[in-house]
Structure 1
Amino acid sequence: MTHAVQLGDIIQLRKGKKALEVYDQRVNGAMPYIQIDEVRGVAPQKYAHDAKGVIVTPVDLCIVWDGANAGTVGYGVDGLIGSTVARMRLKAPDEWDTEFVGRLLQSKFRQINDEAQARGATIPHVDKSKLEAIVIPRIDRFEQRRIATILAKADGIRRRRQSALDHIDLLIKGEFVARFGSPQKNEKNLQTAPISAFGRVVTGNTPPRKDLENYGDAIEWIKSDNINTPSHFLTPSTERLTERGRAIGRTAPAASTLVTCIAGSPNAIGNAALTDREVAFNQQINAIIPHEGTDPYFLYCQVLVGKPLIQAASTNSMKGMVSKRKFQEIEFLLPDNEKQVDFGRFFSKAINMAQNLRADLEASEELFLSLTYRAFHGEL
């Protein structure tokens, strides 16, 4: 890579502003209102009108300027940008390809975001001087277009595999409802029973931290973060208990369902994951250890689909909490064991398919990252 310029040399930066008039649907004279989600590729949800607003066109680049997502870059959008977004307009669009520059900046997201977080402000925001100092390789525009096309194809493979994974999750939930109906509505008039009839409910705890001998390497100690997982099974915990800690703690065997019942956000109440090994867990979590005659996969999926029932049992606090007593009393659908087991077989097949797709997705992500690195180091 023989020649390079700084980003500030090739773009004009302009911060957006809060629009004067915002609408939930398109009205005469209104334009799509571009905020964080729209920069990330979500279709516009709101429309705005402001004669003094900052307009972006599909050949401009947008960057999220403030907040946890600071540094997120998008392009190909058209509308008015909000106050959390900035426009980057190419000074010489005949010399620079929007997608080429955009993909290079997307590859720098972690760097830009870390610099925004490090500024010490209550709300992170992009460091303008460091953003404009990012080095851009100066290459022929035809070559820029070639590189952007290669990266777009690799990204397309990655996105299609992610979409297939998302569809499997929807398929699992849809199949449950197709067979048994909604746990909230029970439109198939199935027999119901409290959660306590499906399994033994155990609330976790925290062995005293002042006694360092409670913490070691004997058994994982699960927290709510390990339940917020895309794979349906618990993610590995970074913290573990000793055998002494295990004796004080609460544990659940494999095939249990762990549910978040105390959380900093009401939306996290009812998050669930399956165990595929014995684990200990903290007091924010209730475990359902299935009784004999309860299919563990059926039970887990009912928790997944019936999350609104769990949230409805939460206290009306800003954080949210479902007591063990209320949790045990929540009414779930109770089809006969044969139907539960049959659904469990379906779930197992879907999970196996998802695991294969996830392996393919990881491979496509590695390919994309490798191509991106090579592209911007003159090796593609």
Structure 2
Amino acid sequence: MSLGDVADVFNGKTPAKSEQREAGHPVLKIRDVDDGGRFREKFGSFVDQDYASQFSKKQVLPGDTLILNAAHNADYVGSKSFFATEDVRGALATGEWLLVRPNHRRLDPGFAHYWLTSAAAQAAIRDQVKGIHLYPKDVARLNIPLPPLDEQRRLAAILDKADALRRKRKRALELLDGLTQSIFLEMFGDIACGGNSIKKKAEFNTHDWHEGIIGDQIVLQRGKDITKKEAIFGDVPVISSGGISFYHNEKIAPGPGVLLGRKGSVGNVHFTDTDFWPHDTTLYVKEFRGNLPEFVYCYFKRFPIENYEASAANPSLNRNNIHPVKTLWPKLNLQERFSSRLRKVWLGINNATAQLASSEALFASLQHRAFSGQL
């Protein structure tokens, strides 16, 4: 059965800038939905009611599935989707949204949404991208499995429960992520004013790769692996030294430390621990050492280094940028208390990450089985 036989598939309408207002009838833009497919609970643009009434069909209804249909890069087309709820009822969808509106007598909205976001349907949708656009007529031609309506509702209910579980775990992880800076502000909120702190120059080591020889096996931490995400221990490539020659001018001292992106992810920081990988780094990474690395990490998350050649073709940090860096180091007993609290949060983050991965795998499995007649 073609999707167009059981649903209307059409694009939204983007109002001209001259038609947009600071108040009035809400407009649903791409940025109003986060990457997890959740409404951000606030509209950023509006139009007059008279204008909106001219495009009543393009106003969102609960149960619609919205799909990103255009982007500057073809890889992003179709990458964001949104299952419309009562929160956005009546909002005018912009032209960057492709809307799928099920015929409720033949197609359950939840079933349609879960099918459209399944791996198989996503692959089929990507195959329909032309240039940097996804067109309604092409999506309407996609074949959708169509069991009886009662069976559609049963499958959607199962997927609802699995989806609710993964969303709950994702939310728990987001809250834990936010605790890092919350604890920092609670304990060192007055750090910029010098409370309980000693001002001194930040100590650091630099570690660059040159041609030479390394040991049997080593983990490489690249500049591009250091992101602004609240990731504590990230995946990095492991390479064998067989046939590969490197030489590093200085071995990094053992123990936990803080990596600072020099190029590619300029100024971003990442906490490393020898329990997870050896302390050798690639070019473009600097390692800072303070009294306790947990404090150094959170300090530079809160107060990132911005003194670099941002206007250059290839922005980068260098020794001259970093040498003048000064910070207010709290007394060691405060850093120890902070480190202890932070480590507990990080343990919770690791556990929550594992639980989220498990629930994501369960949902993907159920989704596959639901649309292959195995559930």
- Tell me the equivalent position of 1:134: 142
Alpha-carbon distance, 1:86 to partner: 1.4
Higher mean displacement: 143-152 or 170-179 = 143-152
1:81 equivalent to 2:88? Answer no
Q: Does 1:160 align with 2:155?
A: no
1: CA distance, partners of 2:125 / 2:251: 38
Shift of 1:26: 5.3
In 1: Cα distance, 2:215 partner to 2:5 partner: 54
Alignment partner, residue 274 of structure 1: 272
Cα distance between partner residues in 1 of 2:142 and 2:38? 23
Can you give the 5+ residue segments of structure 2 that lack an aligned partner in the other structure?
A: none
RMSD, aligned α-carbons: 3.1
How far is the alpha carbon of 1:192 from its aligned partner?
Answer: 2.2
**Cα distance, 1:302–1:116 mapped onto 2, change above 3 Å:** farther
1:105: how far off?
A: 0.7
Pairwise CA distance, 1:195: 1.7
Task: Give distance in 2, aligned partners of 1:186 and 1:116.
Answer: 57
Change over 3 Å in CA distance of 1:298–1:45 after alignment to 2: same
The CA distance in 2 between the partners of 1:324 and 1:256, in whole Å, is 18
> Between Structure 1 and Structure 2, how many residues are aligned?
352
Structure 2: which amino acid aligns with 1:12?
D
How far 1:366 moved relative to its partner? 1.6
Aligned to 1:236: 236
- Aligned pairs for 1:1-380 (under 5 A) are 5-21=1-17, 27-28=23-24, 30-38=25-33, 40-43=37-40, 44-49=42-47, 50-51=51-52, 52-53=54-55, 54-67=58-71, 68-71=75-78, 72-76=80-84, 77-78=88-89, 79-90=91-102, 92-108=103-119, 110-112=122-124, 114-115=126-127, 119=130, 121=131, 124-126=132-134, 131-181=139-189, 185-186=192-193, 188=195, 190-196=197-203, 200-205=204-209, 207-208=210-211, 218-228=217-227, 230-237=230-237, 245-248=245-248, 252=252, 253-263=254-264, 269-276=267-274, 277-288=277-288, 290=289, 294-307=291-304, 310=305, 312-317=306-311, 320-380=315-375
Q: 1:263 to 1:250 in 2, by over 3 A?
A: farther
Contact persistence 1:115–1:126 (CA under 8 A): no
Q: CA deviation at 1:63?
A: 0.9
Distance 2:196 2:139 in 1: 60
Shift in Å, 1:188: 3.3
Q: Report the CA distance between 1:136 and its aligned residue.
A: 1.7
Identity %: 21
Residue pair 2:125, 2:139 contacting (<8 A) in 1 also: no
How far residue 158 of structure 1 moved from its aligned partner, in angstroms, is: 0.9
Per-residue CA deviation, residues 182-202 of structure 1 (Å, 9 max, x unaligned), is: 65x347363222222xxx321
| C-alpha displacement of 1:338 | 1.7
2:197 alignment partner, SS class: coil
Structure 1 gaps, min length 5: none
Structure 2: distance between partners of 1:336 and 1:26: 49
**TM-score with structure 1 length normalisation?**
0.81
- Provide the TM-score with structure 2 as the length reference: 0.82
| Secondary structure of the corresponding residue to residue 76 of structure 2 | coil
Q: Which segment is superposed worse, 107-116 or 277-286?
A: 107-116
| Residues 80 and 375 of structure 1: CA distance in aligned 2, closer, same or farther (over 3 Å) | same
Deviation at 1:375, TM superposition (A): 1.4
- Write the distance in 2 (CA, Å) between the matches of 1:203 and 1:142: 63
